Amino acid sequence: MFSKKLLHYLLGVYCVFGAISSAWARDRYVIDSTHTYSVFEYLHWGLSLQQGRFDKNSGSIEFDADKRTGKVQLVIDAASVSTGNSLFDTAMRSASFFDVDAYPQINFKSDSLVFDDAGKVIAIEGDLSIKNIKKKVRFELTHFHCRFMPLYFKTACGANGFAKILRSDFEMGRYVPFVSDEVTLRFAIEAIRE
């Protein structure tokens, strides 16, 4: 006869392994804003690479490793731009750059995930919208991984990636060529299964 303690233990083990085995089915993961950020990097007067970041990000990941399908949606609060300098932050929020009063969100919505021959996700392709201007962008991934997280008792997925864009394509070309037109966008995302 099983004791209640042993029965609860076996049920817990079953739940853990059930969560792990189903982690690769097409599931939806909600972005964990405390472990997600977006960065932009540009060359300043040919002197150094400077960076800014957005502190408020939300969205979701859908992923099915068996079918090699999935999608990513990232929503960035444009007003959360942070450069470490309050005067520069104000300039970044102005109509000369992100124009956050008129365009409060920056959006990336993927068309597809790109897999290599081994089934590893290596890129995300989709539409980037800044100031309601939409452009096709490919984010190369340096990392993508899903695993069961004991901290949440759920599966989580994480990714790091980058893409290069021209800011003039989004009507933000002020100070080109003294400040580079080409900008590298980087992100770190973690998302927890619903």
- CA 139 from centroid of its chain's CA atoms: 10
Instruction: Classify the C-alpha dihedral 63-76-142-110 as positive or negative.
Output: positive
Average model confidence (pLDDT) across the chain: 89
DSSP lists the bridge partners of residue 159 as: 144, 189
Measured distance CA(148)–CA(139) in Å, rounded: 25
Q: Which residue has the tokens 């942070």?
A: 82
Give the DSSP letter string of 40-96.
EEEEETTTEEEEEEE--EEEEEEEETTTTEEEEEEEEEGGGEE-S-HHHHHHHHSTT
Q: Which domains, from first to last, does the chain contain?
A: 24-193 (2.40.128.110)
Measured distance CA(128)–CA(157) in Å, rounded: 21
Q: What digits encode the pLDDT tens for the residues 95-122?
A: 999 999 999 999 999 988 999 999 899 9
| DSSP assigned state of 169 | G
Burial class (CB in 10 A: 0-12, 13-18, 19+), 35: middle
pTM, rounded to two decimals: 0.82
Question: 161 and 176 in contact (C-beta within 8 Å)?
Answer: no
Q: What is the pLDDT along the chain (194 residues), one digit of tens a residue?
A: 545 554 454 445 444 444 444 444 568 999 999 999 999 999 999 999 999 999 999 999 998 888 999 999 999 999 999 999 999 999 999 999 999 999 999 999 998 899 999 989 999 999 999 999 999 999 999 999 999 999 889 999 999 999 999 999 999 999 999 999 999 999 999 999 99
Encoding tokens for residue 167?
Answer: 């800011």
Instruction: Classify the C-alpha dihedral 163-88-75-193 as positive or negative.
Output: positive
